[in-house]
Structure formats: C-alpha cells, structure tokens
Amino acid sequence: MKSKILIIDELSPYLFFIKGIMENDDFEVIVSDKESEFPEMITEFDPELILIELHMNNHEGFEFLKKLRNKYNFFAPIIVTSSRTSVGEIEKAFELGAYDYLIKPLNLRDLKNKVRQAITKEKFRKNNCHT
C-alpha cells in the first residue's frame, strides 16, 4: 500500500514536478494551496505526512503549522520547506512541531529519504502505541 503525502504549497510547475517525483517513488500524493480544503483532505485522504511550504502566497506558514496541530488535530510528521535559512525561523518551525526543515531548492534524494524516514518512524510509533 502506498504511503500518502499531502503537499501544501503554491501551485506551480515546480510543485507538480515534486509531486510526480514522489509518485514515481511509490507515494500517493495530493497537493493544495487552499486552507479551506485542509480539514477535508486530512480527514478523507488521511495523509501519513504533510510537506508544507512555510512562505506561500499571502499565507503565514507558522499559522498553518499551528492550525495543523491544534485545529485540525494532525499529529503525523510535518516536514517544512522554505528558501529562507534564518536560524530563528528554523527553530520556530521545530518548536511548533515540525519533524524536519528542508531548504529550497530541494535535493530530491534528500527529500525522498527524509519522507521515508519520517513515515517509517510514524508507522513504528503507531504500531507500538497500539500494542
């Protein structure tokens, strides 16, 4: 069964390139840039991981990160992406529950490895919590 990933980012050719790369690596991927879609996507798609761009359009990524945890009750791994390398921003992302922080442009091999590691860890955690 394919692992499910939700990517929250600006809809762009680059995003759909990343989506295609991840799908070729045996992941099921959906993408969105609309916060109004998140509750339904999280409930119905039930992603095992969210990849979220911290600075997209007019949205504040830190607020999204807070909402994912507090409002939408999403507790699986969240990997944050950004082209910004500020130590303060990276620390804040981790304080708000990010599993990892990847700097754009993304290294595709690193991205796939980080996603696999996060999903594997989460599956292990879930299996050990239910026994």
- 131 pLDDT exceeds 70? no
Q: 55-56 and 100-103: which strand pairing?
A: unpaired
Alpha helices (H) along the chain = 13-24, 38-40, 61-70, 87-95, 108-129
Whether 7 has a pLDDT exceeding 60, the answer reads: yes
pLDDT in tens, 12-52: 888 999 999 999 999 999 998 887 888 888 989 999 999 99
Q: What is the pLDDT of residue 130?
A: 59
The domain that holds 10 is classified in CATH as 3.40.50.2300
Query: What are phi and psi for residue 30, nearest 5 degrees?
Result: -125, 155
Contact 81, 52 (CB under 8 A): yes
**Cis bond before residue 105 (omega within 30° of 0):** yes
* Per-residue model confidence as pLDDT tens digits over 61-107: 788 888 888 888 888 999 999 988 899 999 999 999 999 999 999 99
- Rounded Cα distance, 46 and 76, in Å: 10
How many domains, the chain? 1
Q: What 3-state class would DSSP assign to 9?
A: coil
Whether the CB-CB separation of 113 and 91 falls below 8 Å is answered with no
Give the whole-angstrom CA distance, residue 47 versus residue 3: 8
Assign residue 109 a region (left: φ > 0; alpha: ψ between -120 and 50; beta: otherwise): alpha
Question: Side chain identity at 95, as an amino acid letter?
Answer: E
- pLDDT tens for 103-117 read 999 999 999 999 999
Domain of 124, in residue numbers: 3-129
